[in-house]
Amino acid sequence: MESQDESKKRYCSKPFSHFEVVGDGEAHLCCPSWLKTSIGDLNHDSMENIWNSETAQKIRASIIDGSYRYCDHEICPYLKSGRLETLEELSGPVREAIEFKQTQIAARPKYILLGYDFSCNLSCPSCRSKKIMLPKGSPEHQKVEELTAKIDTAFIKPASDEIIVLNITGSGDPFASNVYRTYLENLDGVNLPHLKIDLQTNGLLFSPKMWERMSKIHGNIRNVFVSIDAAREVTYPVVRREGNWSVLMENMKFLAELRKQKKLNLLQARFVVQKANYREMEEFARTFLKLGCDVIEFAQLVDWNSWRPEVFHHQCVWEKNHPERKEFLKALSKSFLSHERIFLGNLTELRKEAIAYQLATLPFIPKMLFILSHKMQNLINLLISKKIAVSKALRKRL
């Protein structure tokens, strides 16, 4: 992790630009797993008041003073990987606020994430013990509709000179949710030139037919993040209970084609590392980069209380006493994982440890080959970066 001194010179822009609504209507300035403190409750206050609430301002002050005291330094992938920005790299209202130490933000949030409908077509063991689908007409469904309408009125529909990014969703699947899917189908992008939409999905319902159903917002859809967690057909239904690999791959090819035709700005494949899949990390990155994904993102498993504590720890192959820890370190030390389009997030520190472990334990010849393969990958990265002008957006917060 970055030293505290270094953190003081670098800033996280999220609390100055993000607004996430989760659970029953709690608002956050960042992913609640990384920054647990809520800034207010949409059931009791207006979004405008919450955006500049006392707690919101305290969180922003902690970024400006460099303490990051509300952030979980062990889990946040940006703190772990050092992907914070210097003042020079920041722009607009965020830069202004940090430069002049303003904790009250006059501008609307730039990024709005809807994370309060847990409906999903799957029930992955790492996420939930059974499938959740809110039935139409139920009080929960109605609540989700009300929250969506409130956010739409306050932050999405009003005209804006600045781009506003709507992210659906951090809690389930945008197409399995009746409310989110209907909302997406009914949005009229022609009247919302300021709106960009990012979709986080498991990909299984993102078919050509679904794409057509969103025809009025094709010009607004920007980035697509697909959570996959496996490189092999046999592993996929283990980590994505009831997931169908053939359907996933068909849809991924379709999304890659949209990306190739520049109908998407970015296609990212995600992989949450756990016991069932850690041996497939390199294969996953190779497969989905080859298919046409721009970025491959790995992340450490987070406890969503879906497993009993002992079962959860059994999944955490990086833990000190785990019997498969050495094998995990070997998998994480692979040279290909240095590829410049791979983001290791909160595994970055472990990767350093994994490489050090290999260097300390490998016999002479395998060690030389290991060093050579890492040097080769660095050279390939250099050649790729010279050949392709990788957009600045890829290097920044995704």
Q: Can you read off the two tokens belonging to residue 126?
A: 């790492």
Q: Which of 90, 127, 144, 301 binds ligand SF4 (CB under 6 A)?
A: 127
Per CB under 6 A, contacts with ligand SF4 among 8-27 are 12, 14-15
Q: Which of 227, 315, 335, 358 binds ligand SF4 (CB under 6 A)?
A: 227
By CB under 6 A, tell whether 112 contacts ligand SF4: no
Q: Can you read off the two tokens belonging to residue 207?
A: 């078919």
Q: Which of 16, 19, 34, 116 binds ligand SF4 (CB under 6 A)?
A: 34
Q: Which of 38, 103, 167, 202 binds ligand SF4 (CB under 6 A)?
A: 202
Distance between CA atoms of residues 250 and 227, nearest Å: 15
Question: Total residues contacting ligand SF4 (rule CB under 6 A)?
Answer: 21
248 close to 204: Cβ distance less than 8 angstroms: yes
Stretch that binds ligand SF4, among 71-79, 140-148, 249-257, 339-347 (CB under 6 A): 71-79
CB of 279 to ligand SF4, least distance (A): 20
Distance between CA atoms of residues 133 and 177, nearest Å: 7
Of the candidates 144, 280, 292, the one whose C-alpha atom is nearest the C-alpha of residue 226 is 292
By CB under 6 A, tell whether 78 contacts ligand SF4: yes
- The residue type found at 42 is L
Q: Which residue has the tokens 């890829």?
A: 394
Stretch that binds ligand SF4, among 41-49, 118-126, 151-159, 249-257 (CB under 6 A): 118-126
Q: What are the residue ranges of helices labelled H in 187-319?
A: 208-213, 236-239, 245-260, 281-291, 309-315
197 close to 184: Cβ distance less than 8 angstroms: yes
Q: Can you read off the two tokens belonging to residue 113?
A: 């994430």
Q: Which is nearer to ligand SF4, 15 or 109 (CB)?
A: 15
CB of 233 to ligand SF4, least distance (A): 17
378 close to 338: Cβ distance less than 8 angstroms: yes
CB of 84 to ligand SF4, least distance (A): 7
By CB under 6 A, tell whether 205 contacts ligand SF4: no
Residues 6 or more apart whose Cβ sits within 8 Å of residue 284: 228, 230, 231, 269, 271, 277, 296
SS3 222: strand
By CB under 6 A, tell whether 30 contacts ligand SF4: yes
By CB under 6 A, tell whether 76 contacts ligand SF4: yes
By CB under 6 A, tell whether 179 contacts ligand SF4: no
Residues contributing to the site for ligand SF4 (CB under 6 A)? 12, 14-15, 30, 34-35, 68, 71, 76, 78-79, 120, 122-124, 127-128, 172-173, 202, 227
